[in-house]
């Protein structure tokens, strides 16, 4: 491995310093300091409304960062221009609680939209890459299904496949199991965990499903009383 | 693999169908009014060009002079056509009008040679006719220029009033059409707002998201204009066949002009509305989308 690659590897994929996270005009998290390194698996826990989602939205620039410092894969969140937002998002695989699939087109078209939107033109390569990611999430037979023909767990796996398309160094998951039953949740978690292990993709996952955390241990960060805290005790107890 | 769920209605098609339908209907109404406008302006044009201007020539003018003069006049931009009437023809016309042979009563033909000319519609108004008269009179051969000044004044006033009225009406109608079509399209795009947002979240650039909607809008605009034009054509045909003889089809260029304007309006309105609707949803935050 070359030196340049090594230094890139060791650089955090998320780096926030004294960042203030707002929801609309209300300050919801104050002075956030957070570093996530390549290949780390990080849980973000906290009650509903504690700012988990707002923090993730700030990371993928759905909410602008106005105070403090913030870097995502070399992108400076403070100086980020509207035109750069698509490029920032291409470096992040985002998994949403409500899937955000394009409901008017098939699984294959959902995935090919992303590839074409991010500059892929070779139809053969597009097809090959889609088959590869669908294989990774175990959905290789569902190419031509419409999203509404799939179960919730299958839809979420399509979303994860979509997140993997461009080999992002970071996956942000906002309550990915929020709408799923325990068995399906386990499949999704297993998948995220395997991706994290095998592809060295950093995962930051917001959740309040503590059973999953016990089964799939990782670093835990807590949103509580308007601040972000490293939860050593819980990490320890696991 | 096939399940009963396989039947999958594409969610987006019904909204496109209704917007194409309403754009077509509105363009059709615009087309009817537009055709009416074109026909009435053709009518005033005919009225204007039918107004005769009579040039009374000197007694001494001979045939070759008359011909030369008529050639000269025909070359003028304002002249539509020129007709030479010598005194014999004039007498014959008058005899027909009066119903008696006045030549016998008087014993000689008192009528002068004359040239009757018609001017093009744009010159057929009191102002232009005044300088045209002056210009013609500068020719030594012409003694007098006669035309019905009152008639000219009336036609001009009438046609300009009709023109202004129709233009205001048409302008208003275009504006109303714009608003209605814009609302229809906004409604259709409203159903696409979450798809637009999802596209943004996976890192698609604005133009990449907007492009297919814009192409679809152009297609819808063209399709609507074609439907409206065909409907207009059918209606004109039925009107012509069963009700009144408008002679509409002899002026097929008029129809093409109206159809062309409809095509242009259809594309422009559909394109602009779609573009701005998509841009609006691109700028919106998630909470505003609900």
Q: Is residue A32 part of a domain?
A: no
CB contact under 8 A, B199 and A146: no
C-alpha to C-alpha distance for B16 and B221, rounded to whole angstroms: 11
CB contact under 8 A, A104 and B195: yes
Helix locations, A60-95, DSSP H: 85-90
Give the range of the structural domain holding residue A149, as residue numbers without chain letter: 38-62+82-230
ipTM value, please give it. Answer: 0.84
What CATH number is associated with residue A134?
Answer: 3.40.50.300
Chain A residue numbers with beta carbons less than 8 Å from the beta carbon of B200 are: 85-86
Q: Is residue A73 part of a domain?
A: no
Helix locations, chain B, DSSP H: 12-50, 63-75, 87-98, 102-106, 126-137, 149-190, 193-201, 206-238, 252-283, 286-289
Q: Is residue A116 part of a domain?
A: yes
| Report field, pTM of the whole predicted structure over 0.80 | no
Q: CB count, 10 Å around CB of A8?
A: 14
Q: What is the pLDDT of residue B80?
A: 87
Q: Is B249 on the interface with A (CB under 8 A)?
A: no
Q: Is residue A104 part of a domain?
A: yes
Q: Is A193 on the interface with B (CB under 8 A)?
A: no
Q: Is residue A102 part of a domain?
A: yes
How sure is the predictor about A17, in pLDDT bands with cuts at 50, 70 and 90?
A: very high
Pairing relation of β-strands A219-224 and A41-45? parallel
C-alpha to C-alpha distance for B89 and B97, rounded to whole angstroms: 12
CB contact under 8 A, B3 and A149: yes
Q: Is residue A70 part of a domain?
A: no
Q: Is A144 on the interface with B (CB under 8 A)?
A: no
For the cut 90, the answer to whether the pLDDT of residue A77 exceeds it is: yes
Sheet arrangement for strand A69-72: A26-36, A14-23, A69-72, A75-76
**CB proximity under 8 Å: A 65-84 to B:** 83
Q: Please give the tally of structural domains in chain A.
A: 1
The one-digit pLDDT tens for each residue of chain B (290 residues) are: 344 444 444 444 556 888 899 899 999 999 998 888 888 888 888 888 888 888 888 877 777 888 888 888 888 888 888 888 877 788 888 788 877 777 777 777 777 778 888 888 888 888 888 888 888 888 888 888 888 888 888 888 888 888 888 889 889 998 998 898 888 888 888 888 888 989 998 889 999 999 999 999 999 999 999 999 999 999 988 888 887 766 666 778 888 999 999 999 999 999 999 999 999 888 876 666 66
> By the 8 A CB rule, do A218 and A187 touch?
no
Which tens digit of pLDDT belongs to each residue from A156-207? Answer: 999 999 999 999 999 999 988 887 888 888 888 988 999 999 988 999 999 8
CB contact under 8 A, A104 and B285: no
For the cut 80, the answer to whether the pLDDT of residue A6 exceeds it is: no
CB contact under 8 A, B5 and A149: yes
- State both tokens at B276: 């701005």
How sure is the predictor about A238, in pLDDT bands with cuts at 50, 70 and 90?
A: very low
Q: Is residue A18 part of a domain?
A: no
Q: Is residue A9 part of a domain?
A: no
């Amino acid at each position: 491995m070359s030196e340049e690659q090594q230094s890139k590897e060791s650089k955090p994929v998320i780096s926030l310093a004294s960042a203030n996270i707002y929801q609309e005009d209300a300050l919801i998290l104050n002075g956030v300091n957070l570093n996530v390194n390549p290949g780390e698996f990080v849980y973000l826990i906290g009650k509903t409304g504690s700012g988990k989602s707002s923090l993730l939205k700030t990371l993928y620039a759905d909410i602008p960062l106005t105070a403090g410092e913030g870097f995502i894969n070399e992108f400076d969140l403070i100086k980020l221009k509207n035109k750069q937002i698509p490029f920032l998002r291409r470096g992040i695989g985002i998994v949403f609680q409500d899937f955000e699939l394009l409901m008017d087109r098939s699984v294959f078209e959902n995935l090919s939209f992303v590839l074409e939107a991010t500059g892929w033109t070779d139809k053969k390569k597009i097809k090959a890459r889609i088959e590869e990611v669908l294989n990774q999430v175990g959905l290789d037979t569902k190419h031509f299904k419409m999203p509404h023909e799939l179960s919730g767990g299958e839809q979420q796996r399509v979303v994860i496949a979509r997140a993997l398309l461009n080999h992002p160094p970071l996956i942000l998951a906002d309550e990915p199991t929020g709408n799923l039953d325990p068995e399906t949740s386990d499949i999704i978690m297993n998948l995220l965990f395997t991706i994290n292990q095998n592809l060295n993709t950093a995962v930051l996952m917001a959740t309040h499903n503590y059973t999953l955390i016990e089964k799939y241990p990782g670093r835990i960060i807590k949103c509580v009383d308007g601040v972000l805290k490293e939860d050593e005790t819980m990490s320890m107890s696991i | 693999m096939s399940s009963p769920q396989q039947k999958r209605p594409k969610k987006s098609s019904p909204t496109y169908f209704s917007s194409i339908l309403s754009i077509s209907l509105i363009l059709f109404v615009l087309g009817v009014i537009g055709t009416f406008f074109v026909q009435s302006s053709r009518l005033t044009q005919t009225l204007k060009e039918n107004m005769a201007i009579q040039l009374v020539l000197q007694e001494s003018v001979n045939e070759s002079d008359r011909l030369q003069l008529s050639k000269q006049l025909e070359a003028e931009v304002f002249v539509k056509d020129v007709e030479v009437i010598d005194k014999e023809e004039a007498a014959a016309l008058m005899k027909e009008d009066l119903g008696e042979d006045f030549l016998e009563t008087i014993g000689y033909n008192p009528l002068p040679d004359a040239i009757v000319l018609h001017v093009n519609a744009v010159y057929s108004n009191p102002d232009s006719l005044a300088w045209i008269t002056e210009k013609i009179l500068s020719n030594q051969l012409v003694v007098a220029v006669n035309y019905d000044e009152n008639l000219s004044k009336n036609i001009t006033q009438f046609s300009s009033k009709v023109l202004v009225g129709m233009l205001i009406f048409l302008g208003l109608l275009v504006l109303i059409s714009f608003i209605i079509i814009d609302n229809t399209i906004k409604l259709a795009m409203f159903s696409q707002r979450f798809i637009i947002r999802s596209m943004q979240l996976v890192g698609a650039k604005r133009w990449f998201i907007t492009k297919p909607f814009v192409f679809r809008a152009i297609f819808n605009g063209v399709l609507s204009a074609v439907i409206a034009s065909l409907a207009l054509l059918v209606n004109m045909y039925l009107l012509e066949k069963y009700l009144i003889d408008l002679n509409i089809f002899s002026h097929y260029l008029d129809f093409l002009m109206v159809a062309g304007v409809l095509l242009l309006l259809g594309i422009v309105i559909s394109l602009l509305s779609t573009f701005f609707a998509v841009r609006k949803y691109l700028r919106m935050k998630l909470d505003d989308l609900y």
